[in-house]
Structure 1
Amino acid sequence: MTDCENRAVNLDYLPRSCDHDLLLANQIMSSPLRHLLHLALGLSTESMDLLTALTDRLRTAEGALPDPATSGEF
């Protein structure tokens, strides 16, 4: 088992090359999106849920998602 596979250790002590989310984020071609992903890395589940909800609200405001207030989802 490699250090990257051993999740019993504190992940802060692992080399950053073992952070699979970071490796994936670094492959994003869009610089603003890559920056946003770097900012989101390591957030708690609760914070990620809030970020997702905010993203949904922004997409709704821009017309990319249907507005639940007018689409009959209530």
Structure 2
Amino acid sequence: MNLEYLDSPHDHDLLLASQINSRPLRRLVQLALGLSTESMDLLTALTDRLRTAEGALADPATSGEF
């Protein structure tokens, strides 16, 4: 795939996001594009907490990772 015509890194990210098959995940990625590093860190932390709450990640408070 030739990406030479794209002007900015954001354009590359948008193109890649548009190729995600899962509609909810694609929407989440598209909404996150352009966020500051701090906001991306918050989003990642929130995602980790949600996955922990759903049992998809070990709870760091009880797994001895501190």
Q: Same fold, TM exceeding 0.5?
A: yes
Q: Name the CA distance, whole Å, in 1 between partners of 2:36 and 2:5.
A: 23
Runs of 4+ in 1 over 6 A off after TM superposition: none
Q: Tell me the TM-score normalized by structure 2.
A: 0.83
Structure 1 gaps, min length 5: 5-13
Q: Which has the larger radius of gyration?
A: 1
Distance change (3 Å), C-alpha of 1:31 and 1:3? closer
Give yes or no for the alignment of 1:45 onto 2:61. no
Higher relative contact order (CA 8 A, sep 6+): 2
Cα gap change, 1:32 to 1:3, in 2 (>3 Å): closer
Name the SS of the counterpart of 1:19 in structure 2: helix
Alpha-carbon RMSD across the aligned residues, in angstroms, is 1.9
Match of 1:33 among 25, 31, 37: 25
Gaps of 5+ in 2: none
The number of residue pairs the alignment matches comes to 62
What is the percent sequence identity of the aligned residues?
A: 79
Equivalences for 1:1-74 in 2 at 5 Å? Answer: 4=6, 14=7, 19-74=11-66
